[in-house]
Amino acid sequence: MLFYFIDAAYWNQLGQQLLLDELGKQRINSQAKNIIFFLGDGMSISTVTAARIYKGQKAGKTGEEEQLTFDRFPYTALSRTYCTDAQVADSACTATAYLTGVKTDTDTIGIDANVEFNNCTTQLDPALHVDSVMAWAQAANKATGIVTTTRITHATPAGTYAHVANRDWEDDYAQSFDGVDSAICDDIAEQLVLSSPGKNFKVILGGGRAYFTPRTMTDIETGAAGRRRDGQDLIGQWVADHPTGKYITSRDELVNLDVAGTESVMGLFSPAHMEYFLESSTANNPTLEEMTRTAIQMLQKDANGYVLLVEGGRIDQAHHDGRAKLALEEAFQFDLAVAAALNLTNPADTLIIVTADHSHTMTINGYPVRGNDILGLVGYLAADLKPYSTLSYANGPGSINGYGVGGSRVDLTDVDTTADSFLQPALVPLASESHGGDDVAIFALGPQAHLFQGVYEQNYIAHVMGYAACIGPGVKFCDVPRKSY
């Protein structure tokens, strides 16, 4: 292979160029007019590395030398993801941390740790609510929006607008299983459509139609009944409340949207989560990149600037399924969305942050040779004289490809480990692979991006966004006295 013939001169030249790039780095020490916050759900550092290789190999390269778009961001840091009651976090408490600046308990959103899980009464106390960066932005007359490949009521997007004692209360049907009176405690879908800051979003793009429609209505795509038991048609309510807005349900409608003539848009493209990219050929779904482009174009119309959340949500769910290939493809699609945002914005006035909420248990192990298929086998046999895959999980459904009957490992010699349906081997049998507790990376570019150069508590991220954009209750860039020369 070609890389065996790269000599010392190549590496010296590369090292010197990287050094010069670092020496020439200039801080953008000004106010951020706009913020785009990219959240790769479950995008652990090992996922970033594997996705980088996957991207390169899709382009016919060995892979290791490839760069994701956000690899080139000038500032990086680490985020500590534990929550107030857990060593290994979930997406609800982490969303609360990085969006509101306050860490809280697992499975709760937009409230502090004084709220009791599953307790509707404590959820109602406004003194226990914590506001998100979206509420801060709206108070400063900025436009706001959310984009996700999951249900729009799922934990990450819900962190921008909801205050709930249980992340699963996405609609009144879900609340009924916990004996909650939906007339007293609004579910997450209701809070998006009926309450601030959700009802003021200019852009809402994702999945989850069924959570907004009653069971007397059928889905436009599948014909299945809606989920709501309270009879509310929340989509109809949103349309009524946004007479200059547009409700859409397909990729065709998104790409043909009259951005200039549309004040706000709600796009719900699937009854539940949007399909995995590799399984979406029969669905008329926009890509994450396409949704991101439209969201930015919509929000750029606001002279006061905007704050946008973009979530690559199905990276996490593919990991839970034990399907590393799907997770890496979702991460690749996420990277395309970041690239689109870079092309549409100016780093002089737009702070872009890319991070993850928590880790996963996927590892890259070896020793595979340079350029080995990241989804393939390592290339030589283990002590039991059987091959093993480069990617594996510490736990999950892939245990069927791990240790079989009598404790012996499954022989993968004639197995296509690159297939979309393949489950990477897992050690501990779990129906759903779990999150990991290790730190995740932060990548930043634009005004005040230099404030990410260390190891931080995850809630610090929200405080940086508030400071950079001069929004929220904390210290702000525009309030700090500066020397005049």
Q: Where on the phi/psi map is residue 358: left (φ > 0), alpha (ψ -120 to 50), or beta?
A: beta
Establish how many alpha carbons lie within 13 A of residue 190's alpha carbon, considering only the half-sphere containing its beta carbon: 20
DSSP assignment of 152-187: TTSHHHHTTT--BS-TT-SSHHHHHTTT--TTTS--
Closest of 293, 327, 314 to residue 420, by C-alpha: 327
Integer angstrom CA distances of residue 436 from 11, 311, 396, 479: 34, 19, 12, 39
Distance between CA 470 and CA 466 in Å, rounded? Answer: 6
Task: Tell me the two tokens of residue 108.
Answer: 């709760």
Binding-site residues for Zn(2+): 41, 316, 320, 357-358, 435
Length of the chain equals 485
Task: Tell me the two tokens of residue 377.
Answer: 């086998």
Contacts of 484 (CB under 8 A, 6+ apart): none
Binding-site residues for Mg(2+): 41, 154, 156, 311
Binding-site residues: 41, 154, 156, 311, 316, 320, 357-358, 435
Task: Tell me the two tokens of residue 61.
Answer: 């390269």
Q: Which of 91, 182, 270, 359 is catalytic?
A: 91
Bridge partners (DSSP) listed for residue 146:
204, 309
Contacts of 4 (CB under 8 A, 6+ apart): none
Distance between CA 97 and CA 111 in Å, rounded? Answer: 10
Active site residue 264: no
Task: Tell me the two tokens of residue 418.
Answer: 């690159």
Distance between CA 63 and CA 324 in Å, rounded? Answer: 16
Beta pairing, strands 203-207 & 265-268: parallel
Closest of 340, 353, 275 to residue 308, by C-alpha: 353
Element (H, E) at 248: strand 246-248
CB–CB of 268/222 below 8 Å? no
Bridge partners (DSSP) listed for residue 301:
none
Provide the Cα torsion 246, 249, 251, 257; round to 10°.
-10
Catalogue the E-assigned strands of 259-349. Answer: 265-268, 306-312
Catalytic residues: 91
